[in-house]
């Protein structure tokens, strides 16, 4: 995903000497609705690095909301600094900056910012979503993301193996965190076999005990004989070094930015591997939070989860079009997301 400053509707730099706040709010697009995206607090090495992250992430949110059919645009904010810099005053100040944008940008959780922090931010602005434990809150997004990835994996299997049943298929799962454990529950019920890894050996042990997975080393995951490779840890795990080792017929997982470069999408296609584009398959958490503010009557778990199940249709549309147009699915997903934004601007 290339970045050009001209692509962004509004970028706000927020500086406050008293609290030490240094933040950036990037609004990529409001063509489809308010720019929604979490706030990340990270110890960036430089302001440039923070800006690049804010821009990249906000653009990603536009694509994720658009491909998922949500009437939301894309935004993201970053607060510069280590977690030790976090104070109630700094967070409240950030809330004031969010409030100044009058709802153009709506914030939520991301790395380094949790529900107690959102509560502080909310003392200064109503434009906050996803506070666990609050009445009508959508709560923890991980089970919703897991449900969506599972549905998208089934749709990918239908294209790769002719049936959406995962029974008897072998899934190589990279990363056994919050989303993966949600997926393991669905996969175990369906009778899929899972080979899993994590940098934390305790998580492998837990998954073995709870779901009978086969554990392997962190590097070994790429070499497994499997039907589906499922990246559920960090980004860029599908790259020039790892792709030749991946023996799966499909790639479907929860991680963001799975493809290290745009070009690798073409390589994936050339190798006959079906790829479920990351921001389409992992949108369940965002769709869940959408029900908190954009659906009449407020949040309802069953309604939200039946909406999230539609990720299967989205993946089916992307893979069908990719086949018809002989294009990488990553390119098709981008085009579909961009078309919806363009049509909304007309
Ligand atoms: P998590 O932090 O709970 O789990 C990630 C796991 O990956 C951890 O157990 C970590 O130890 C492991 N890990 C890190 N590096 C690894 C490596 N090199 N090899 C193997 N394991 C490694 O995170 P999560 O909430 O489960 O999210 C998983 C992925 O999905 C992340 O990329 C996240 O950005 C993405 N995602 C999550 C959500 C959500 O709702 N939580 C929504 C959209 C996308």
Residue pair 112/41 in contact (Cβ under 8 Å)? The answer is yes
CA 174 to ligand 1 centroid distance, Å: 9
Instruction: Give the position, in ligand 1's atom list, of the atom nearest the Cα of 286.
Output: 42
Greatest alpha-carbon span in the chain: 61
Active site (catalytic) residues: 76
What is the DSSP code (8-state) at residue 9?
Answer: S
Angle at the Cα of 183 (from 212 to 237), degrees rounded to 5? Answer: 95
For a substitution probing ligand 1, which of 38, 40, 179, 219 has the most ligand atoms within 8 Å of its CB?
179
List the residue whose alpha carbon is closest to atom 43 of ligand 1. Answer: 282
Q: What is the dihedral of CA 148, 150, 156, 161, to 10 degrees?
A: -160
Residue 191, classified by CB atoms within 10 Å of its CB into exposed (0-12), middle (13-18) or buried (19+), is: exposed
The tens digit of pLDDT for each residue in 7-23 reads 999 999 999 999 999 99
Q: Sorting pLDDT into bands at 50, 70 and 90, what band is 83?
A: confident
- Ligand 1 midpoint to CA 230 (Å): 11
pLDDT value at residue 1: 63
Domain boundaries, the chain: 5-60+73-122, 142-282+312-340
Q: Which residue has the tokens 């669905």?
A: 186
Q: How confident is the model at residue 111 (pLDDT cuts 50, 70, 90)?
A: confident
Q: Whose CA is nearest to atom 4 of ligand 1?
A: 177
Atom 35 in ligand 1: residue holding the nearest Cα: 255
The H or E element that residue 106 is part of is: strand 105-106
At residue 78, φ and ψ (nearest 5 deg) are -130, 140
123 CA distance to ligand 1 middle (Å): 30
Question: Which CATH architecture does the domain made up of 5-60+73-122 adopt?
Answer: 3-Layer(aba) Sandwich (3.40)
Collapsed DSSP state (helix, strand, coil) of residue 305: helix
320-328: Cβ within 8 A, 24+ apart: 320/159, 322/269, 323/159, 327/269, 328/265, 328/266, 328/268, 328/269, 328/275
Query: Beta partners for 128?
Result: 107
CA of 290 to the centre of ligand 1 (A): 22
Q: What is the token pair recorded at 115?
A: 């529900």
Q: For domain 142-282+312-340, give the fold.
A: Rossmann fold (3.40.50)
Confidence of residue 295 (pLDDT cuts 50, 70, 90): confident
**Residue among 194, 215, 233, 283 whose CB has most ligand 1 atoms within 8 A, to mutate:** 233
| Proportion of the chain above pLDDT 70, given as a percent | 99
3, pLDDT greater than 90: no
C-alpha–C-alpha distance, residues 81 and 61, integer Å: 23
Distance 122 CA to ligand 1 centre (A): 27
| pLDDT higher than 90, residue 274 | yes
Please classify residue 92 by burial: count the beta carbons closer than 10 Å to its beta carbon, then call 0-12 exposed, 13-18 middle and 19+ buried: middle
Q: What is the pLDDT, as a whole number, of residue 2?
A: 66
* Mean pLDDT of all residues in 234-246: 95
Q: What is the pLDDT of residues 315-324, one digit of tens each?
A: 999 999 999 9
pTM of the model: 0.96
Q: Which of 38, 178, 230 to mutate to test the pocket of ligand 1 (most atoms within 8 A of CB)?
A: 178
Residue 337 · residue 67 · CB < 8 Å: yes
pLDDT for the residue numbered 39: 97
Residue 234 CA to ligand 1 center (angstroms) comes to 6
131-139: long-range contacts at Cβ-Cβ below 8 A with a sequence spacing of 24 or more? 136/292, 136/298, 136/299, 137/292, 137/299, 138/288, 138/289, 138/291, 138/292, 138/299, 138/304, 139/288
| Residues 206-226 pLDDT 10s | 999 999 999 999 999 999 999
Atom of ligand 1 nearest to the CA of 253: 30
Q: Could you tell me whether strands 73-80 and 274-275 are parallel, antiparallel, or unpaired per DSSP bridges?
A: unpaired
142-282+312-340 has the same fold as 5-60+73-122: yes
CA of 232 to the centre of ligand 1 (A): 5
Atom number, ligand 1, closest to the C-alpha of residue 237: 18
Q: Mean of the per-residue pLDDT values for the chain?
A: 96
Query: Mean of the pLDDT values across residues 28-40?
Result: 97
Pairing of strands 21-29, 10-16: antiparallel
- Block residue for tokens 């810099």: 85
pLDDT the model gives residue 157: 98
Ligand 1 lining (C-beta closer than 6 Å): 141-142, 145, 174-180, 197-200, 203, 218, 232-234, 254-256, 282, 285
Please report the pLDDT score of residue 234 as a whole number.
Answer: 86
Pocket test for ligand 1, best of 109, 175, 184 (most atoms within 8 A of CB): 175
């Amino acid at each position: 995903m290339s970045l050009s400053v001209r692509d962004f509707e509004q970028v706000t730099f927020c500086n406050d000497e008293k609290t030490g706040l240094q933040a950036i709010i990037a609004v990529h697009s409001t063509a489809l609705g308010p720019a929604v995206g979490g706030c990340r607090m990270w110890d960036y090495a430089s302001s440039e690095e923070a800006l690049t992250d804010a821009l990249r992430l906000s653009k990603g949110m536009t694509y994720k909301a658009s491909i998922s059919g949500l009437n939301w645009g894309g935004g993201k904010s970053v607060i510069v600094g280590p977690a030790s810099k976090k104070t109630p005053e700094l967070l409240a100040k950030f809330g004031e900056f969010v409030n100044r944008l009058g709802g153009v940008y709506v914030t939520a959780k991301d790395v380094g910012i949790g529900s107690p922090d959102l509560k502080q931010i909310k003392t200064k602005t109503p434009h906050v979503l996803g506070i666990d434990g609050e009445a009508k809150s959508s709560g923890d997004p991980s089970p919703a993301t897991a449900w969506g990835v599972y549905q998208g994996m089934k749709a990918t299997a239908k294209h790769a193996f002719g049936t959406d049943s995962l029974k008897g298929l072998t899934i190589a799962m990279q990363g056994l965190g919050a989303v993966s454990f949600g997926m393991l529950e669905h996969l175990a019920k369906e009778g899929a076999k899972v080979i899993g890894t994590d940098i934390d050996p305790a998580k492998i042990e837990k998954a073995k005990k709870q779901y009978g997975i086969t554990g392997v080393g962190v590097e070994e995951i790429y070499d497994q004989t499997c039907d589906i490779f499922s990246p559920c840890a960090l980004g860029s795990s599908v790259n020039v070094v790892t792709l030749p080792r991946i023996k799966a017929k499909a790639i479907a997982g929860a991680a963001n930015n799975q493809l290290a470069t745009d070009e690798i999408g073409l390589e994936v296609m050339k190798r006959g591997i079906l790829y479920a584009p990351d921001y389409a398959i992992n949108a369940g958490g965002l769709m869940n939070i959408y029900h908190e503010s954009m659906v009449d009557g407020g949040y309802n778990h069953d309604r939200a989860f039946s909406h999230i199940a539609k990720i299967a249709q989205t993946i089916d549309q992307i893979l069908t079009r990719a086949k018809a147009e002989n294009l990488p699915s990553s390119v098709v997903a981008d085009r579909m997301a961009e078309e919806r934004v363009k049509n909304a601007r007309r």
